[in-house]
Amino acid sequence: MSRKTRLAAFAAIAAMTSFTIARAEGSGANAQVGENPTISEPVLTEEIVPVFVEKEVVQPLPAHDAAAAQDLTSAGSLRELVARIPDRGQLSREMECLAGAIYFESRGEPLAGQLAVAQVVINRANSGVFPSSYCGVVFQRAQFSFVRGGEMPHIPRGSAAWERAKAVAHIAHEGLWESEAADSLYFHATYVSPSWSRSKQARATIDTHVFYR
């Protein structure tokens, strides 16, 4: 074999050896397992970058819930709306306080008067001046005369008056009907004239209650 031929053969063998090593590296066959293995960082691609939706996404209500909501908003009067409110069973602690205030302060009043009492409790809770919860407002010292010793009297829960109070509480809490009391924070009976009322602005008089801001 000539010197030229031998050089060509050596070159061919070297090329084949390099090609075999390159294939092994590319396939991961020569991954090293040592004390400090090198772990490459994952590369984010367009496929896994989160996409933000600019418009508000609203999940549609189930057909029966949507129909029920439409039924409430289509009521022609407060009395009709009260009659449509479903009984949701046991109330939460906060809703119990709101309904209790309605019951003890205005159960003998027309529905508009009951809603106005509820609105005052809600306005106070949202005012930043009074306690920030319905129960906090109702049980605040020296605010509601029916509260004795920090407790609410017994409520006959099977009565029609309590059922109405619960319905009115739900209506007020959800803002389903606009109250004549508007932004009122105070009220008193028409047969008394408290000194504080002189410094307040009257918003409405409903049956035997006057409401103020």
pLDDT of residue 120: 98
Instruction: Go through the domains of the chain in sequence order and give each one's CATH number.
Output: 75-182 (1.10.10.2520)
- Point out which residues pair with 187 in neighbouring strands: 211
Tell me the three state secondary structure of residue 199: helix
How do the pLDDT tens digits run along the chain, 213 residues long? 544 444 444 444 444 444 444 444 444 433 333 344 444 444 444 444 434 444 444 445 454 455 556 578 789 999 999 999 998 788 999 999 999 999 999 999 999 999 999 999 999 999 999 999 999 999 999 999 999 999 999 999 999 999 999 999 999 999 999 999 999 999 999 999 999 999 999 999 999 999 999
pLDDT of residue 69: 60
What are 117-143's pLDDT values in tens digits? 999 999 999 999 999 999 999 999 999
The answer to whether the predicted template modeling score (pTM) of the entire model surpasses 0.85 is no
pLDDT of residue 73: 76
- Point out which residues pair with 210 in neighbouring strands: 188, 205
